[in-house]
């Protein structure tokens, strides 16, 4: 990322009625799917579904934070994005730790039918979110973090459906656990991207005098 303060000024900062409306719709979608997936994950005994549900919950909170800081100073927006990046990393650590624990006890395989149906529902919800947010995917760290989280959700949903097929074919919990671990890795990678951009923007503010 360039150290030029000029770049920070020209990046889309979310100050748009269309972006706000899209964000409100995406918040509603994510909150609804959290409740659907957390219940389905418990019923099916699926770590992949529970990881995806946690992602929906995290996105609901972070999108609300994104909405709150729109129009505030670049430093404030970058700090909000930094917090979101750190929370995404913490979420990845929780999913990874939970998956490792499940590997150690390796109980009965989850219900692949429930995983497949709910995974398809979540994918449809996230594809709708991506359509709403696609034209806003390039912007400052606060705006970009919204896009990255939505993209992660869609990838995670495809992975959950693949895990459901793997569980059905193998009759074991391994596909579910492997997908959950892969989702944790995706959380970590997106966390690094968001934190790096947010830190760069904070550095620009400090060195170029923007607020």
Domains of the chain: which residue ranges? 15-208
| Burial of residue 83 (number of CB atoms within 10 Å: 0-12, 13-18, 19+) | middle
Does residue 77 contact residue 197 with C-beta atoms inside 8 Å? Answer: no
**pLDDT number for residue 36:** 92
CATH code of 15-208, in short, is 1.20.1510.10
CA distances 54 to 36, 92, 95, Å, are 11, 10, 9
- Which regions in the chain score pLDDT beneath 70? 1-15, 105-108, 137-142, 207-211
Spatial distance between the Cα atoms of 49 and 45, rounded to a whole number of angstroms: 8
**pLDDT number for residue 111:** 83
């Amino acid at each position: 990322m360039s150290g030029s303060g000029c770049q920070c000024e020209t990046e889309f900062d979310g100050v748009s009625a269309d972006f706000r409306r899209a964000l409100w719709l995406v918040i509603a979608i994510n909150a609804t799917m959290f409740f659907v997936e957390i219940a389905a994950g418990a019923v099916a005994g699926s770590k992949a579904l529970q990881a995806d549900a946690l992602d929906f919950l995290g996105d609901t909170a972070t999108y609300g934070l994104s909405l709150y800081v729109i129009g505030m100073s670049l430093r404030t927006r970058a700090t909000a994005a930094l917090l979101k990046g750190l929370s995404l990393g913490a979420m990845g650590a929780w999913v990874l730790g939970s998956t490792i624990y499940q590997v150690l006890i390796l109980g009965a395989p989850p219900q692949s039918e429930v995983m497949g149906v709910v995974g398809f529902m979540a994918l449809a919800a996230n594809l709708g979110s991506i359509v709403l947010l696609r034209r806003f995917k390039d912007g400052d760290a606060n705006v970009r973090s919204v896009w990255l989280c939505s993209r992660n959700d869609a990838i995670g949903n495809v992975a959950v459906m693949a895990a459901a097929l793997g569980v059905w074919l193998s009759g074991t919990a391994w596909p579910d656990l492997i997908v959950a671990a892969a989702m944790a890795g995706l959380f970590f990678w997106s966390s690094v991207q968001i934190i790096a951009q947010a830190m760069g923007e904070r550095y620009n503010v400090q060195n170029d005098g923007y607020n």
